[in-house]
A and B are shown apart, each in its own frame.
Chain A
Amino acid sequence: MIARAGKWLDDRLGLSTLVEFGSHKTVPVHRYTVFYYLGGMTLFFFLVQVCTGVLLMLYYRPSANEAFESIEFIMTVVPFGWLIRSIHSWSANLMVFFAMLHLASVFFLKAYRPPRELTWVSGVFVLFLIMGFGFSGYLLPWNQLAFFATKVGTDIAGAVPVIGHWMVRFLRGGDRVSGGTLSRFYGWHVAVLPAITCVFLGAHLLLVQVKGMSVPHSCEDETRKRPPMKFFPHFALRDLSGWLFALGVLAALAALFPWELGEKADLFAPAYENIRPEWYFVFMFQTLKLVPGGEIFGLEYEAIPILLFGALGALLMLVPFLDRSAPGKGRVWTIAGVVALLFVIGMTCWGYMSLLPLYVVIISGILLLLLAFITRGGRRSENR
């Protein structure tokens, strides 16, 4: 009966082609194989965001008078509301963190080299979309932090020459951050960004399947000697174990450190002490703090770092087209990457006046090494 149903479906959907493709899919095995799990981990957190986000939509009300209260209601009255909301917030942060780790590993192993330029471009675009999710989602609780982060974040767009003012109004839905901004950000957060992300994430995942995993130049010999790992079941099971572990970590974080709600936004109160944005924006925030007031050729000083960050974002996306060096060469780009990484870590530490961000990076590195050892793959047993 089941076999007949399967046959019926297969005749209509052609699933056997997919199964056939899956059964042949392999993953190269070498000393950096562990980095292949980072994209999947980011995807897992994205899926958690979709599920918990849909659940939060059942109670959340996107208006200046009700948003804060509706989250208060979710956190205190709705059964498991505190858990769902905290998981959504924690998972958002971990998603950004893993997307950045994924980006760093792909950058330093130069996996963007031909023919994977478009995989890189779509991936960087998805990272920007994820940051857009973070920024738009940040306003939704309508608390003081959300209000000021959005005021500053949208005002930054004003630095863009010619269309800056239009962009600020477009983002805010008017001249000021108000209830109109909230409903607009909600629309971006739950409809526009997810739709765009589906397209680019779909393209990214499809390209990964079509082009296969990139093997770092320094590992080509090693990869030839070691048999590749079958995606099903060996790699997929490792992926799934990682996801299960991540779910446990998420639940623990949400239970032990529930996400704060803060105070309701007051449009007529000064910004409170030590206010700062989410950690992944702190390096830009700290840079902006250091730039003195002034003007040069009609351009305010503050616009210079803002435009520079914008240009660097564009540069990041174009890396595969700019780094045309032969395999094993192009050290300039690696050095530039290290400098950028040190700048980001340094500024983040300064922004927090703490070395914690540095420790997080070091501990992540150690954990990845440990995982590389655990998931290193066999030499014979998995070649079947």
Chain B
Amino acid sequence: MDALESKPRRRFLNYFLGTSLGAVVASFLYPILRFASPPFIPEATTNQVEAGDTSDPQLMTKGFKIVRFGAEPVILVKVTDSEYKAFSATCTHLDCIVGYQKERTRLFCNCHGGSYDLNGRNVSGPPPRPLIPYKVNLLAKGSEPAKIVVSKA
């Protein structure tokens, strides 16, 4: 047997058998890996959303609300009666959703204690970057409460 194995022809064939076995395994693994990797699905782009009006009870009491901007959460903050600001609500640290602390006038993430000022700048805690700002427009119509429109900056 040893004498046989030492023959170059046997070694050559063994090499081919071994590599073809490897190729068979790879041909099984590749589709499995591709199957398990989620496909990229294009999302409808959202450029602006209507976020209720200025009489929204949540805005009145808590001073903020989370708005659905397509699939993204956006935080709308009532700074004064006539000034509103909006930012991406996704914390730049580890993807949690931020809230607003009215008494401290800070956007705050409860997950790891990161905070941002009202310009979206990361001012303390672990967040590495500022929040992405959004544009807010108020559409007033007579004596009715103004409609709030949030759009991409």
Contacts and interface: CB of A to CB of B under 8 A. Distances in A.
A151 B112 CA distance: 13
Contacts of A289: 112-113, 125-126
Nearest to A174: B38
B95 interface: yes
Interface footprint category on B: 20 to 34
Interface string B91-116: 01111111110000000011111100
A275 B128 contact: no
A156 B100 CA distance: 24
Nearest to A171: B38
B140 to A, nearest CB: 26
A161 to B, nearest CB: 16
B99 to A, nearest CB: 3
B129 interface: yes
Interface in B21-74: 36-38, 41, 66-68, 71, 73
Interface string A274-296: 11000000000100111111110
B38 A275 contact: no
B126 A293 contact: yes
A15 to B, nearest CB: 36
A180 interface: yes
Contacts of B122: 293
B89 interface: yes
A30 B128 CA distance: 54
Nearest to B129: A293
A156 B126 CA distance: 13
A155 B128 CA distance: 14
A273 interface: yes
A337 interface: no
A352 interface: no
A270 interface: yes
**Of A152, A172, A173, A274, most B-chain CB atoms within 10 Å:** A152
A170 interface: yes
A57 interface: no
A152 B73 CA distance: 16
B103 to A, nearest CB: 14
Given A176-B71, A289-B112, A293-B122, A269 B97 contact: yes
A74 B36 CA distance: 30
Contacts of A271: 96-99, 109-111
B120 interface: no
A302 interface: yes
Contact of B126 (A174, A269, A288): A288
Contacts of B98: 270-271
Interface in A330-358: none
**Of B97, B99, B113, most A-chain CB atoms within 10 Å:** B97
B128 A294 contact: yes
Contact of A275 (B100, B110, B125): B110
B126 A180 contact: no
Nearest to B112: A289
A169 interface: yes
A294 B73 CA distance: 24
A319 to B, nearest CB: 29
A134 B68 CA distance: 31
Interface in B109-147: 109-114, 122, 125-129
B109 to A, nearest CB: 7
Contacts of B94: 151-152, 155-156, 288, 302
Contact of A270 (B36, B93, B99, B112): B99
Contact of A269 (B41, B66, B92): B66
18 contacts: A151-B94, A154-B95, A155-B94, A170-B38, A268-B68, A268-B73, A269-B97, A270-B97, A270-B98, A270-B109, A271-B98, A275-B110, A289-B113, A289-B126, A293-B93, A293-B129, A301-B128, A302-B93
The 7 A-B residue pairs with the shortest CB-CB distance in the complex, in nearest-first order:
A270-B99, A293-B128, A155-B95, A271-B110, A152-B94, A289-B112, A155-B94
Given A151-B94, A275-B110, A302-B128, 13 more contacts: A169-B38, A174-B38, A176-B71, A268-B73, A268-B97, A270-B97, A271-B97, A271-B109, A288-B94, A288-B126, A289-B113, A301-B128, A302-B94
